[in-house]
Structure 1
Amino acid sequence: MKKCISIFLLWGLSLNAQVGINTTTPNSTLAVNGSLGANYKQVTANTYTILANDHYLTYNGTGDATFTLPVIGTGTTSYTGRIYKIKNISTSAITLQASSGNTLRIDNTPVTSFVIPLGAYAEVVNNTNTTGGTWDLSFTVLPKPSNVEIYGSQLSIPPHGNGTPGVADWTNHTTTSYDTGSGTDLWWVISKSSTTYAHTAAYSNASRMMIVYEYQGAPFNVTNMYPILTAGNNSSFPDVFTASFVSLANNGTGGKTRLTVSVSRIDFIGANGSNNSNWTGTFLLNLLLARKY
């Protein structure tokens, strides 16, 4: 009698259009009220043929790898709707290729293979075609983007030491009038060292100045940090400057961040009557610090 009941139950289940697991009110052909598990495998071999019972594959080998999708046939080997998920956590690339006679469909032009770069993820699903695109590349995620921290500020370019009149050079922050910012977002001009122009028949050297700035807030993490500098002019003078990065290090007062910059005047060299290229105005240095992590 128990066998008959079991047969009737199974027969009734097969006729039901909607099946529920852990639910008495399924709203789909198969409704699962709970977690779902599928086969997971980590691959380290450089060549791997994907099996019929694989589902989620992670590659963590050394060197470029080739993953080959199963051969698609008919009947029980048609595999229509089968999904494979592939994640590349190695430092190399995976070439995902279809078996002989099959193809991958990224758009309307089938291809034989697709490269999954390091850090990327791809998902393929089998369609009903045996030609013209056997596997749809249904979803891809590129490697995670690099996160970047950005900080910006405007610093002062003090007058040249040999201007007319000039501002004498200093060291150890003995002059404070060219500091910029406020609170912890404050930059000191620790020192400036001026080099006057040299203009002869044989050569010309621009007026320039080496400036050391020190940030008074918490030291920056300078690992993988890249300064971008532009010199600006906020005055009525025609002066044009170029700023060159020299160094960025946490070697200042109490380990504070110090930025060393070389600034040169480039619109003219020498003297023109009472005007000379040893500048006397205060100009701007636009600073952008970008750290990649």
Structure 2
Amino acid sequence: MKSNIFIPVFSIMTLFFNAQVGIKTSTPNSTLAVAGSLGADYKQITAATYSITATDHYLTYDGTGNTTFTLPVIGTGTTSYSGRIYKIKNISTSSITLQASSGNTLRIDNNPVSSFVIPTGAYAEVVNNSNTSGGTWDLSFTVLPKPSNVEIYGIQLLIPPHANGSSPVADWSNHTVSTYDTGTGTDAWWVISKSSVTYAHTSTYSNASRMTLVYEYQGTPFNVSNMYPILTAGNNSSFPDVFTASFVSLANNGTSGRTRLTVSVSRIDFIGSNVNNSNWTGTFLLNLLLARKLY
């Protein structure tokens, strides 16, 4: 015997509008639960201007010049777009001007604006908030690029003891002493030479104890064009000594054209001999940061 089962239309509608829906899960815990990957529209743009459509989601710009992306006009009903999200990534060498249209605005803070610039390498995400007067689109998330026009290198070098201290270490040249070299392999820095000058303290003047040091990098020579050294001196011992480090030169004039850094280090906490000798006897630190501007 054949039986027909009828379900009232209003029951189907109630199930559709009120139930939680699961995809690949029998126990959805949200209005829509997806136990798997989620795909949305992706588009790469190269045009000088582009009007974002209702079907766009993730947009990447890879054009050759500055461009303008215009968000859709916000209306009511099916064109209210409340909650709609657009993701925009700029992989070009130019900028994207993201603008609202027809009196709509972008809300970055409490001051709505008509446009927002997405620079090279940056990412922006906007969501529609259905507010047609106080900032129709919220700029909900932005990621700015790392500084791409600067190269940075840092290392910690050693400041040897003074040649005129109470426990002296004689000056040297031509890398005849390797005790105070730092690093390993091609990232090693050798102390090629050190030249010490003792303090001078008279009734008319005072000169601090100081030392000139030449360090040589053992790796591929740096491109020293537009490179700026930043130096600080550190104390890694129980001694109270305080130092200042001054840049003298940076050039590829070392062994086989290697990079050489020349610095002057001076002890500045006191001058002369007062129980202790201001010609230091410990080994201290020289913090080196090399920053090169690319363009």
Normalised to the residue count of structure 1, the TM-score between the two structures is 0.67
2:204 maps to none
In the alignment, the residues of structure 2 paired with residue 221 and residue 6 of structure 1 have an alpha-carbon distance, to the nearest angstrom, of 83
CA contact (8 A) 1:67 1:95 kept: yes
Q: Deviation at 1:119?
A: 1.5
1:115 maps to 117
**CA 1:61–1:14 in structure 2 vs 1: closer, same or farther (change >3 Å)?**
farther
1:21 maps to 23
Q: Deviation at 1:132?
A: 1.3
Residue 246 of structure 1: which of 245, 249, 252 is its match?
Answer: 249
In the alignment, the residues of structure 1 paired with residue 93 and residue 73 of structure 2 have an alpha-carbon distance, to the nearest angstrom, of 28
Q: Deviation at 1:68?
A: 0.7
Amino acid in the other structure paired with 2:130: T
Amino acid in the other structure paired with 1:104: L
Q: Deviation at 1:31?
A: 1.6
**CA 1:156–1:79 in structure 2 vs 1: closer, same or farther (change >3 Å)?**
same
Q: Deviation at 1:126?
A: 0.9
SS in 1 for 2:160: strand
Amino acid in the other structure paired with 1:155: I
Q: Deviation at 1:265?
A: 6.7
CA contact (8 A) 1:242 1:263 kept: yes
**CA 1:8–1:182 in structure 2 vs 1: closer, same or farther (change >3 Å)?**
same
Residue 41 of structure 1: which of 36, 43, 50 is its match?
Answer: 43
**CA 1:107–1:82 in structure 2 vs 1: closer, same or farther (change >3 Å)?**
same
SS in 1 for 2:26: coil
1:135 maps to 137
Q: Deviation at 1:41?
A: 0.5
Residues 1:153 and 2:157 are matched in the alignment: yes
**CA 1:260–1:103 in structure 2 vs 1: closer, same or farther (change >3 Å)?**
closer
**CA 1:182–1:135 in structure 2 vs 1: closer, same or farther (change >3 Å)?**
closer
- Deviation track 1:63-98 (CA, whole Å, cap 9, x = no partner) reads 322111011111221111111001111222211110
2:34 maps to 32
SS in 1 for 2:262: strand
Identity %: 60
The residue correspondences of 1:82-121 to structure 2 (distance < 5 A) are 82-121=84-123
- Tell which deviates more after alignment, 124-133 or 166-175: 166-175
Q: Deviation at 1:54?
A: 0.5
In the alignment, the residues of structure 1 paired with residue 62 and residue 262 of structure 2 have an alpha-carbon distance, to the nearest angstrom, of 44
Q: Deviation at 1:247?
A: 2.1
2:203 maps to none
In the alignment, the residues of structure 2 paired with residue 221 and residue 74 of structure 1 have an alpha-carbon distance, to the nearest angstrom, of 64
In the alignment, the residues of structure 1 paired with residue 65 and residue 144 of structure 2 have an alpha-carbon distance, to the nearest angstrom, of 19
**CA 1:261–1:135 in structure 2 vs 1: closer, same or farther (change >3 Å)?**
same
- Deviation track 1:92-140 (CA, whole Å, cap 9, x = no partner) reads 2211110021011122221111121222111111112121111111111
SS in 2 for 1:12: helix
Count of residue correspondences: 264
Amino acid in the other structure paired with 1:95: T
Amino acid in the other structure paired with 2:247: S
CA contact (8 A) 2:162 2:211 kept: no
In the alignment, the residues of structure 2 paired with residue 266 and residue 28 of structure 1 have an alpha-carbon distance, to the nearest angstrom, of 67
Amino acid in the other structure paired with 1:102: N
- Deviation track 1:199-227 (CA, whole Å, cap 9, x = no partner) reads xxxxxxx9987532346xx7488468864
In the alignment, the residues of structure 1 paired with residue 107 and residue 45 of structure 2 have an alpha-carbon distance, to the nearest angstrom, of 24
Residue 73 of structure 2: which of 57, 71, 76 is its match?
Answer: 71
Q: Deviation at 1:188?
A: 4.8
CA contact (8 A) 1:195 1:208 kept: yes
2:288 maps to 289
Amino acid in the other structure paired with 2:15: L
SS in 2 for 1:111: coil
The residue correspondences of 1:147-186 to structure 2 (distance < 5 A) are 150-156=154-160, 158-159=162-163, 170-174=172-176, 179-180=179-180, 184=184
CA contact (8 A) 1:228 1:287 kept: no
In the alignment, the residues of structure 2 paired with residue 57 and residue 7 of structure 1 have an alpha-carbon distance, to the nearest angstrom, of 44
SS in 2 for 1:180: coil
Which ranges of structure 1 fall in alignment gaps of 5 or more residues? 161-165, 197-205, 268-278
**CA 1:249–1:47 in structure 2 vs 1: closer, same or farther (change >3 Å)?**
same
